Chain A
Amino acid sequence: MTFQVELVSPEAISYSGEAEMVIARTLEGGDIAFQPGHVPFIGVLAVWSVDVIRPDGERDTIAVHQGFVQVAGTKVSILSDVSESPGDIDVARAEEARSIAQQALAADRDDEDAAGALARAELRLRVASA
């Protein structure tokens, strides 16, 4: 059994397809996997990846920096301002951003901007290498 997955950004529908399972990470909630027939669900996503397991067993990994997931009936919608598939990620830039963020954090451990930047850079690198 499959269901429909849509990744909706403010500018367009950036990903759409059938899936057997969707794995995401919610804020404070940890990882959560959805399969067809899941109870209706709305969650705030953490800065993390969303994995879509397609019917042919392939796995699409998408970096989602901020957003929501809504599961209703036979459809999973992921709403996100910023999301990237592995092909969109500039690895060199992400590495540079990571080292800058690490330096900023070394100087000031409570720098929230730097912590956010570090999380995003690490997510990009992880998704790009997946």
Chain B
Amino acid sequence: MAGGKERVLRRRIGSVQNTKKITRAMELIAATRVVKAQQRARAAKPYAEQITRVIENLAAGGAEVDHPLLRRADTVERVGVVVISSDRGLAGPYNSAVIRAAERQVQNARSEGADYSLIVIGKKARDYFAFRDFTVDSYTDGISDNPTYEDARRVADTVAAMFTEGRVDRVELVYTEFISIGSQKVTTRRFLPLESTETIATQGGGEAGASGSFEFEPSPEAVLAALLPRYVEARLFGALLESAASEHANRQRAMKAATDNAEELITKLSREMNRARQDAITTEIMEIVSGAEALGSDDGPDSQYDIEELVAAGVEA
């Protein structure tokens, strides 16, 4: 009977300690991954910037073509929603936030009387939408954790093909923007049709037209036609990299909170366990003392000695 509660508490403390070890390990892993993902996102910036700059120069050179990726539909019958989530959970509100934003896009499309088409990256969003009987038209997993340009190209090509074939008339991209380690924001961007080259140029904000008039080979139109698909890929790649960095930052934060909670729980449980142990000892002493007293009424002189012995034995037990 003695120590029954104590044993239960001891086991719970052990299991919380094990959990804490796991969450601490995950926190440290996520911390190193954030740094790496951040570096990759930074390393990918020059390419996107350079492509934007070339488009700026093309716009300044007056190249405006009728490219399929710039096609603006008169009536939007179907909206594509690209959503970037992660494959694994335990990342705090990371997935639920991005999924909620994507669902809102689907509802917007419905309220406009349009159909929707989901292009899903990451297991979490797929599970969510499949469970709720949404149709998922394209699904990719295994890339959100550490995306390569090849992955981005594959998805971007799928989306671009859906758009140019007229299966969707507009595409929204829902992802998590990485602002800093402490701050990430779910963002929805118009993915397709692309803005006109002039708009891309003004948004780019670079020193447009600084170098004057360019020569183009083979022709401004041909350069633009080759460039626009690359631009789409680079944009998706950038979004994937930012999402990956955000995922790891969120996981780091969630696991830090879990580790802290585990620590708090261990302190609380140890206190409770110590109290239970103390109570058990007190009860035992009381029992021994009252037992000895009951016996001690017949033989006087030995009783003192016996009690001391019994208490010592009781404490050891």
Contacts and interface: CB of A to CB of B under 8 A. Distances in A.
A22 B282 CA distance: 90
Nearest to A43: B217
A41 interface: yes
A85 interface: no
Contacts of B237: 10
Contacts of A44: 217-218, 222-223, 226
B54 A11 contact: no
Interface residues of A, number: 25
Contacts of A9: 47, 149
B179 interface: no
Interface string A69-90: 0101100010101000000000
A77 B46 CA distance: 10
Interface in B237-287: 237
A81 B153 contact: yes
B313 interface: no
A114 B51 CA distance: 29
B212 A27 contact: no
Nearest to B150: A81
B215 A13 contact: no
Contacts of B43: 11-13
Contact of B226 (A13, A41, A68, A77): A68
Nearest to A6: B46
B211 interface: yes
B284 to A, nearest CB: 69
A77 B226 CA distance: 16
Contacts of A27: 217-218, 222, 226
Given A27-B218, A68-B54, A43 B223 contact: yes
Contact of A81 (B50, B210, B230): B230
A106 interface: no
Nearest to B43: A12
Contact of B215 (A11, A12, A39, A77): A39
A58 interface: no
B144 interface: no
A39 B213 CA distance: 9
B212 A41 contact: no
B134 interface: no
A97 to B, nearest CB: 17
Interface string A43-54: 110000000000
A40 B214 contact: yes
A40 B213 contact: yes
Contact of A10 (B47, B211, B214): B47
A68 B44 CA distance: 17
A52 B218 CA distance: 22
Contacts of A4: none
A42 B222 contact: no
Interface string B209-237: 01111111110001100110010011001
Given A10-B149, A11-B149, A43 B47 contact: no
A41 B54 contact: no
B36 interface: no
B40 interface: yes
B217 A41 contact: yes
B44 A42 contact: no
Contact of A8 (B50, B57, B213, B226): B50
Given A10-B149, A42-B58, A70-B57, A79 B214 contact: no
A8 B46 contact: yes
A-B residue pairs, 5 tightest by C-beta: A43-B217, A72-B211, A10-B149, A12-B43, A40-B214
15 contacts: A8-B47, A9-B47, A10-B47, A10-B152, A10-B237, A11-B148, A27-B226, A40-B57, A42-B216, A44-B217, A44-B226, A68-B223, A72-B57, A72-B214, A73-B211
Given A42-B216, A43-B216, 4 more contacts: A10-B47, A42-B223, A68-B223, A81-B230
